[in-house]
Amino acid sequence: MIPRASLCVRIGLTLLLTAPLAACHKGEQAVASAAQGAVAAEHKAQAAASEIDRQRASLALIPLPTKSMYVDVREPGAWANPFLSVDAEMLNLRVFLTDANPSTLGQGTLLRPDAARRQEIQLRPGDLPEALVALPSGAWRYGRVIAVAESPLASKKDRPKVRRNVEAAIQKLNDLGLVVEEWPAPR
């Protein structure tokens, strides 16, 4: 028969020796899961970078902007390239498509009005790069330049959020290799 004190010492020693092994195993599991998380995050970042590179390459096919073509444009309605109006929650992209008829006969008249080629698209901020990539090359008459303005319809309390969205949109457009003409907000 083993004395009680000796039994307590043996149990204590057994617990002391097995506790670090269990803790070590949990530590290994934590390190392994952290490594798997890091690998997954790296793959996600590489996929996002390749998507941005694909979008940038697609937009690089549009010629560089010719500032002399748009330097005198002062009205948003006269701007012939894509025009981005930024609101608190949405973006409004205005695009003038090219005339499908190459003839100058009847151009701009009731038979072929310019307003019929004007398209307005409401977008979520995350959809902006794909929307720009999807535009036909004829929508970029001045070259790879886009006008950006705060929405005149935004309320005063939304102005700080609108401004943050404008800055985020400009950053995204610059990342895509576009030249940005920021227009003052009409008051």
pLDDT in tens, 28-49: 776 677 777 777 777 777 776 7
Kindly report each contact of residues 76-79 with a partner whose C-beta sits within 8 Å and lies 24 or more positions away, as own/partner.
Answer: 76/147, 76/149, 76/183, 79/147
- The whole-angstrom separation of Cα 119 and Cα 138 is 13
> Does the pLDDT at position 3 exceed 90?
no
- The whole-angstrom separation of Cα 120 and Cα 129 is 16
In the chain, the amino acid numbered 132 is: L
> Does the pLDDT at position 186 exceed 60?
no
pLDDT tens track for 54-107: 989 999 899 999 999 999 998 888 999 999 999 999 999 999 887 776 677 766
- 50: pLDDT confidence band, cut at 50, 70 and 90? confident
CB 154 within 8 A of CB 87: yes
> Does the pLDDT at position 5 exceed 70?
no
CB-based contacts of 121, cutoff 8 Å, min separation 6: 92, 93, 94, 95, 131
Which phi-psi region, left, alpha or beta, contains residue 88 (left: φ > 0; alpha: ψ -120 to 50)? alpha
> Does the pLDDT at position 134 exceed 90?
yes
- The whole-angstrom separation of Cα 55 and Cα 129 is 7
For 122-133, give the secondary structure using H, E and C: EECHHHHHHHHH
Chain mean pLDDT for the chain: 82
Among candidate residues 162, 147, 23, 127, the one with its CA nearest the CA of residue 80 = 147
Helices (H) and strands (E) in the chain, counts: 4, 5
Please report the pLDDT score of residue 97 as a whole number.
83
- 16: pLDDT confidence band, cut at 50, 70 and 90? low
